[in-house]
Amino acid sequence: MTFPTKDDLIDFLYDEARMLDEGYFDDWLALWTEDGHYWMPLDYKQADPIHETSLLYEDQFMLRLRVERLNGARTFSQKPKSRCHHVLNRPFVDEMDHDAGRFVTTTQMHYVETRLDEQFLLALTARHDLVLQDGKLKIAQKRVDILNCDAAFGNIQLLP
Amino acid sequence: MHTPQTRAAMEALVTPYQVHRDLYTSPEIYRLEMKHLFANTWVYVGHESQTPNKGDYFTTQIGDQPVIQVRHSDGEIHVLYNRCPHKGTKIAIDRTGNTGKFFRCPYHAWSFKTDGCLLAIPLKKGYDGTGLDQTESGKGMTAVGAVKNYRGFIFARLAPEGIGFDEFFGDSLSSIDNMVDRSPEGRLEVVGAPLRYMHRCNWKMLVENQTDTCHPMVAHESSAGTAVRIWEEMDQPEGTPKPAAMQIIAPFMSPYEFFENMGIRTWPNGHGHTGVSTSIHADYSEIPGYYDQMVEAYGEERAQQILGENRHNTVYFPNIMIKGPIQQLRNFIPLGADKTLVESWIFRLVGAPDELLARTAMYNRMINAPTSIVGHDDLEMYERAQEGLHADGMQWVNVQRLYEEGEDLEQTAVLNGTTERQMRNQFHAWLKFMTATMPAGQEAAE
Ligand SMILES: [Fe+2]
């Protein structure tokens, strides 16, 4: 891919959500750049991921640890396993800079996670910073804002 | 079952090394805790940096009592019950704000000075000759029994009479001292909003877990063990800087001997800490410039003394824990016999490099967040226990590890770091402050 179209970007986001829902975590990890970070702020409109508490600000080591743990023999909070489900609104393509190979999208979605008799719903806004690397789109940063980020939550175990 | 509100009934629930499951499951015991235990002890309210200016307020709760921490016009911090003396409306419901020189109830506009005194009532002539000024309502918002600002940490005792602050905490205040002293200016500031993590379990399970050194290598094998394995599989050349997760999470996999040698210190009245000689916080990388700042502020000897402490978790009975070396406070707020809100706060060491704050924030999200892979397994254990305790075949919870006949919990002691003495210490204090204002009563009813 040399010049991704708007549809290419949107397909990428749908594919990513499907990987998470269906548990194809190796494929999902391969979507990231080496220094890509997954950020989930704790505060509404939080500007600084590092010097304030966030819910997540994970590098590739942490993300790999997170998904490998899910399948561990002694991962007690995943016995039984959780399942999740993303419903995406059609993403906005906010920036397409073909010269720099840089693309920004905003996707509103509903995220459902369930385990045993419990199920919860989160309303999310995800901002993806995508880059073109060796002809492939990669996630350089993903920021996921939870609408009720200041509410008290129980375990959120999979990846919104 | 019906529990009489007597000392004898409470004593029947706590033996030297086991406690009855009703302490965790009974709504009746929970109500008694709110009425007695949380009224007779000094409970953490908030930090002074949350209300830096006159009129700044912060709403929270002490036990199940809604309160407001507010900075009065004389600069002192007051703690008031958060209800209008008129109809009971909460005066403030946002978590934080500034009310100016007075509070004004949004229902009928009764207004109060920021120390609670009644300031004005609209159409006040309607109360002429009614004797309102002779009632509690006519005085204004009620203050809690006593308030103490200890180096920026605000504690309150709801009961007007009771144990004094210094007697209640004694030498345990050295952990707060150490956390504050780690700032070259001797000052902490709250940074950002707290993590808010809901647990469907009794609040005491969380407090006990803070000094439970025999669970990390078991319950957290899935996170800490996997971290170690991935790092080994990456097979990096010697000297490659380890990822942050290895510094923060991997030490949870330390062997039993490490936790044994860490040591536990207990103080009277239910306070205690893990990490006497060393701790899982001891091996963090050095932050450039920080040590020099500390030496400049305190001199070399004192600076080394301050930074040489690596206290892991300090429990302040009844319901907070602080981590001095990484400037955190966790508040275990009881919401019911089987419901606890955990707030995890972080502090900036005023004057210290920002890298320290970055590590503090990182620790908070990696370990204390509802999205934490470490927290997930802790919550799983608590909630399973909350459900399991309903089993009638066995009604006692055991806290016997390294118990010795006749142990004196009114004395400070330093012991093997895997002892459950601190848990026994908490139950000893539980009984003491639960029953301080109860009649003795007869033998417990069966
Ligand atoms: Fe734990």
DSSP state of B48: G
Distances (CA, A) of B243 to A95, B221, B228, B236: 32, 18, 11, 11
Which residues on chain A place their C-beta less than 8 Å from a C-beta of chain B? 40, 42-43, 46, 50-57, 59, 61-62, 64-66, 68-69, 72, 74-78, 150-157
Residues 316-345 of B with CB under 8 A from A: 341, 344
Calculate how close chain A gets to B362, using CA atoms only, in Å.
Answer: 7
Q: How far apart are CA B245 and CA B8, in angstroms?
A: 49
- Tell me if B191 and A66 make a contact (CB, 8 A cut-off): no
pLDDT at residue B281 in the model: 86
Tokens standing for B237? 């050349």
Please state, in angstroms and rounded to a whole number, the distance separating the CA atoms of residues B330 and A14: 39
The dihedral region occupied by A23, where left means phi > 0, alpha psi between -120 and 50, and beta the remainder, is left
Q: If you search the block for the tokens 């459902």, which residue do you land on?
A: A112
* pLDDT > 80? residue B379: yes
Mean pLDDT, chain A, rounded, equals 97
B379 touches A: beta carbon within 8 Å? yes
B233 CA → ligand 1 middle, Å: 25
Which among A50, A55, A155 has the least Cβ separation from residue B358? A50
Mean local confidence (pLDDT), A4-9: 97
Share of chain B above pLDDT 90, in %: 94
Is residue B183 predicted with pLDDT exceeding 50? yes
The confidence score (pLDDT) of residue B442 equals 65
The domain A6-146 is classified under which CATH number: 3.10.450.50, 1.20.1440.230, 3.30.1490.100, 3.40.190.10?
3.10.450.50
pLDDT in tens, A65-101: 999 999 999 999 999 999 999 999 999 999 999 999 9
**How close B32 gets to chain A, by Cα (Å)?**
26
**Partner residue facing B357 (CB), from A40, A51, A150:** A51
Q: How far is the CA of B377 from the centre of ligand 1 (A)?
A: 7
> Region B102-109: what's the mean pLDDT?
98
Q: Is the predicted ipTM greater than 0.95, yes or no?
A: yes
So what's the pLDDT on residue B4? 82
**Residues B342-374: pLDDT tens digits?**
999 999 999 999 999 999 999 999 999 999 999
Q: Could you tell me the pLDDT band of residue A2, with boundaries at 50, 70 and 90?
A: confident
With cut-offs at 50, 70 and 90, classify the pLDDT of residue B443.
low
Residue A156's identity, in one-letter code, is I
Per-residue pLDDT band at B256 (split at 50, 70, 90): very high
Across residues B48-56, what is the average pLDDT?
A: 98
Q: Which residue of B has its CA nearest to A65?
A: B227
Query: CA dist B72 to B103, B292, B357, Å?
Result: 11, 38, 30
Confidence class for position B265, pLDDT limits 50, 70, 90: very high
- With 60 as the cut, is the pLDDT of residue B444 above it? no
pLDDT at B279 over 60: yes
- Is the pLDDT at B41 greater than 80? The verdict is yes
- Flag if B192 and A153 touch (Cβ within 8 Å): no
What does pLDDT average to over chain B?
Answer: 96
- Who among A43, A61, A153 is closest to B245 (CB)? A61
| CA-based R_g, chain B, Å | 23
Alpha helices in B212-271 (DSSP H): 216-219, 226-234, 244-248, 256-262
Q: Which of A50, A150, A156 sits opposite B370 (nearest CB)?
A: A156
Q: What is the pLDDT of residue B135?
A: 96
Confidence (pTM): 0.97
Residue of A nearest to B217 (CA): A74
Query: B82 near B94, Cβ under 8 Å?
Result: no
Chain B CB contacts of A75 under 8 Å are 222, 377
Domains of chain B: 44-153 (2.102.10.10), 187-433 (3.90.380.10)
The pLDDT tens digits of the residues spanning B71-98 come to 999 999 999 999 999 999 999 999 999 9
Is residue B1 very low, low, confident or very high in pLDDT (cuts 50, 70, 90)? low
Taking 60 as the threshold, does the pLDDT of residue B116 lie above it? yes
Which one, of B215, B429, B420, B413, lies nearest residue B319 by Cα? Answer: B429
Distance CA B55, CA B73 (A): 7
